[in-house]
Structure 1
């Protein structure tokens, strides 16, 4: 059995995409591959077949490896709820809300969970491709670490360090990482990869030589800017500001809430030529010419409702509705559209109850039991099919005379609509990845969808990325390094 870990000189250097690409590279070579990330921090979560939660990036990497996602692929997931608190998810199940100090105290008991999950994956795979988190150069976080070198040394997994040349200073980032980390940690690193290179790669030959001379690490290759990565789900909210969408036609506006979650709901719309998608940052008004405003999911509904009001988006939304514009709420956004939201036990923040936006005849109570499951069904109006997932702690009561938005395959209904369908909401994420469901939405705005299946788009992008990595990386060297794993 073999294993290889990619760590980065910093956050957002492209580790997630490279791990996904390598999973597809190895899968294309006929190997049984499993992705693994010991600890992730993200509000963009995916749901496994058994109802567990893992980071969205690991679900994508499982697709790249051509296997079903499992909770072992991301045994520890932190979902930020505020600047100082996060929900802790262990092997797919929520374990409560922790402050930063609480998490540090819990770390020693989490390492066995991490190692157990890793060993189970190793037992069923030819190779495990591991993704680090942040950077090993964050030496202030080294004590009790389970995400980078703490894991690598405990599991004896060799490391390849990734540097992002697009942000500048990549030579200093790589050499500096070796300079500040513990020598025993540095000894785990077998080589380095330069990522996001633009232009003539030969111009960086002297840079590669300088890094090798100063660190003793070998170059595994230089990866060009991967344009196909834009077709993959983004894991980090920092990518949202760079995503302008590439369509034309009716405008769909999505306000970027402070604790926005599962924002990959909008990836398919961003690439839909029949509509324009705009992610609206804080401080900017909702566009007056929007045909549809979608309130996204959030990790803390009451706090983000206050944030929405602080931006003046509630006033913009009321004006949008008066103009006849359509509104859709997904999960937390659905809860916000109702009359009241109560969190009596302080599950997502301070205990309390607030008035919602009053656009749907529903009331929500946040409970400790979270519902996480894949789900299929159809829109009540139009009968378009969808396949998505639920991941929410709220229980929403709908007035008996309010029409539902969705009908699940088991016959149950979800969501609500008002004003003859002008306003609607539901709990289902991933609603528009299916071509039928997306075509239904686009048609309601007077446009025509491209009819593409999002899954096929993602698969094609993964194949294109894998082909590039095969060309520019020393894959044989990576396999040899992976075989060093204990």
Structure 2
């Protein structure tokens, strides 16, 4: 009989995603069939499933930790922010609409049905479902119609472990304060708490741990020290993107407001040969960069305007004149062309923008969204590459004749006459060890990193970490048989 447990946090970015990944790996190693689940996610870092659906990148990592192929049911509602007040709505892997935040808040309760349907399908093929909440259940203004935290937990009859982040300070108030604002029906779901990201001597928090237990009546499942290798795992949130000092090869990345699918940066951050420099607004692009990489974007035209407002377009021109290399991926590829045409207002108000002019190509935006996994071959070296496309718009022009990838027998991407400026729609290029080594060699640097193997090694280390510091036996005992919806009429 399947059981389920939900990890909720006292706030955003308290480490829920990482904890669920570690739990998935730990319980899978114990012989259980584990499935990760997140009812609602908000992220522009999406993964593509085999059937062409979209889910949060964190759920794809959690699936990997559980030894499963990622499927759309693992994250049935995904919000991809496009502006300060609007987001693209993905339901069970498919784009449904773009909605303003106010309208979504009023209508989100109607999504509980597909959320529970996806949850039930996962439960049919698992011994244990480990569920990740979103944000915090203490945001009482969001409780009505909630599908992300207690709204889901109550509807599915799933017990909750509440996690606080001691590194940000005030963890006693985080947890005790959450108890103070929750309604009795929500409090009845909470089965225990845990403290994450402790630094130093664990015994120094014994009194604080016991005080929380006394004030809440909840058992403590553990105090988890800071996991120092967390940076080696794919990041989900832009808050997790950071520069990383490494070797002599400097890769500069302008930090755009709507960066998307920035998992392209993870293999470079892990590469000992590479120093990854995330260039914050207000800084110039470094003059000693070997490569400037322009990442994907959820709002290409808006991010292009932002890039110009920072003067980074001028920095790019100077970088190219000095003989530097530039790569644009997805939205970054579109920015490198001559123009971006948007006749139907797919990416903002209808109109046309001059792009950076580093590639002789033009992009025309369209409502058709390409979401697909790809196997490719790099040209001319023949290195195998696997990745995915997730974009709206089509790019054509003379520089496409110098495409540098072969996908299903067709040439993909574009390159300048010098070959130093390249663009492609294929995400995930740098995760392919042979391609990454070849590309870095072209910049004059070596590589001996086995990236995918390093991710699995880190997941095992994370599971070991939780085995030492979290009471997994008690957590498993708290997991309960969920209240599943009747699927017979679906």
TM-score of the alignment, normalized to the shorter chain, above 0.5: yes
Q: Which runs of 5+ in 2 are unaligned?
A: 484-490
1:381 to partner: Cα distance:
2.8
1:399 to partner: Cα distance:
2.0
SS of corresponding position for 1:136? coil
For residues 214 and 106 of structure 2, the distance between their equivalents in structure 1, rounded to whole angstroms, comes to 40
> Runs of 4 or more off by more than 4 Å in structure 1?
none
Partner in structure 1 of residue 336 of structure 2? 337
1:414 to partner: Cα distance:
1.0
Q: 1:414 aligns with which of 407, 412, 415?
A: 412
Of stretches 184-193 and 271-280 in structure 1, the one that deviates more from structure 2 is 271-280
| C-alpha contact 1:286 1:317 (8 A) present in aligned 2 | yes
| C-alpha contact 1:341 1:356 (8 A) present in aligned 2 | yes
Aligned residues, how many?
Answer: 482
Partner in structure 2 of residue 249 of structure 1? 248
1:383 to partner: Cα distance:
2.1
For residues 273 and 123 of structure 1, the distance between their equivalents in structure 2, rounded to whole angstroms, comes to 43
Q: 2:479 aligns with which of 472, 478, 482?
A: 482
1:361 to partner: Cα distance:
1.3
Partner in structure 2 of residue 455 of structure 1? 452
For residues 466 and 328 of structure 1, the distance between their equivalents in structure 2, rounded to whole angstroms, comes to 36
Of stretches 441-450 and 343-352 in structure 1, the one that deviates more from structure 2 is 343-352
Partner in structure 2 of residue 390 of structure 1? 389
Aligned 1:242-321 pairs, distance under 5 A: 243-321=242-320
Q: Give a deviation string over 1:396-423, Cα, whole Å, max 9, x none.
A: 1132773102111x10111100032111
Partner in structure 2 of residue 404 of structure 1? 403
Please, what TM-score do these two structures have when normalized by structure 2?
0.97
Partner in structure 2 of residue 74 of structure 1? 75
Matched, 1:442 2:403: no
| C-alpha contact 1:246 1:272 (8 A) present in aligned 2 | no
Aligned 1:225-244 pairs, distance under 5 A: 225-240=226-241, 243-244=242-243
For residues 403 and 384 of structure 1, the distance between their equivalents in structure 2, rounded to whole angstroms, comes to 17
For residues 124 and 234 of structure 2, the distance between their equivalents in structure 1, rounded to whole angstroms, comes to 29
Aligned 1:82-231 pairs, distance under 5 A: 82-231=83-232
For residues 270 and 394 of structure 1, the distance between their equivalents in structure 2, rounded to whole angstroms, comes to 29
Please, what TM-score do these two structures have when normalized by structure 1?
0.98
1:484 to partner: Cα distance:
5.2
| C-alpha contact 2:105 2:142 (8 A) present in aligned 1 | no
Of stretches 9-18 and 273-282 in structure 1, the one that deviates more from structure 2 is 273-282
1:96 to partner: Cα distance:
1.7
1:26 to partner: Cα distance:
0.8
1:250 to partner: Cα distance:
2.1
For residues 292 and 43 of structure 1, the distance between their equivalents in structure 2, rounded to whole angstroms, comes to 24
For residues 399 and 225 of structure 2, the distance between their equivalents in structure 1, rounded to whole angstroms, comes to 56
Matched, 1:46 2:43: no
Calculate the aligned-residue CA RMSD, in Å: 1.1
SS of corresponding position for 1:87? strand
SS of corresponding position for 2:402? coil
Q: Give a deviation string over 1:404-443, Cα, whole Å, max 9, x none.
A: 02111x1011110003211110001111001111101111
Q: Give a deviation string over 1:235-281, Cα, whole Å, max 9, x none.
A: 000111xx222321121101011100111111111121222211111
- Relative to structure 1, is the Cα distance of residues 322 and 199 closer, same or farther in structure 2, using a 3 angstrom cutoff? same
Q: Which runs of 5+ in 1 are unaligned?
A: none
Q: Give a deviation string over 1:86-123, Cα, whole Å, max 9, x none.
A: 00011111112110122123312211010000011011
| C-alpha contact 2:399 2:414 (8 A) present in aligned 1 | no
